[in-house]
Structure 1
């Protein structure tokens, strides 16, 4: 019998180019991303901190660290999810993001939930 991992956090990402806030002539490309964090484990978990690595098409890398997400530190029981939308600005019409969430379970054990790399791209900028 296999035992379910107590720390199993699923992350889904949807991205969108925000044309109304972007000004390509000044190399300003605005993207929004909506993330759904789901606790597929057996322990309640709370998101404490975020760490992002944001890369543009020129190889410029920004690292962002901070408490919670959108001003919250959501607590997720098994089977619960939390969804939020945020954004970033790039100097190029395409780039990528990846990172991790610093989580803590109800026993006080810290663990990282990995955010797999995802693309940011203005429509028509990638082949």
Structure 2
């Protein structure tokens, strides 16, 4: 058993396969996800787990060099992100989800709590 960090086996596996510039998504409970994109579904009930909890756990494990959000993203979501995320329309963000390595679905019910992260390198 792992001593710390991510414990969900599917999530650990997807994170371990990330390479430089690969993207992954942390999504609210309602984001439509294309069928060909793998999903690690962490939802339990509406509100559990929260977007902020999942993002915090992932940012402790993954080097992130950038993020993409919808222009409609509220401040309470933006406060959990790296500085200066790229902003696109919500429709464009949904299109970009189709290019992601994987999506982590949360139980979040805050509208537009969806972020595409671009992985970096630690050197």
With normalisation by structure 2, the TM-score equals 0.25
Instruction: Give 1 or 2: higher strand fraction.
Output: 1
Instruction: Give 1 or 2: higher helix fraction.
Output: 2
With normalisation by structure 1, the TM-score equals 0.24
Q: Which has the higher contact order (CA 8 A, sep 6+)?
A: 2
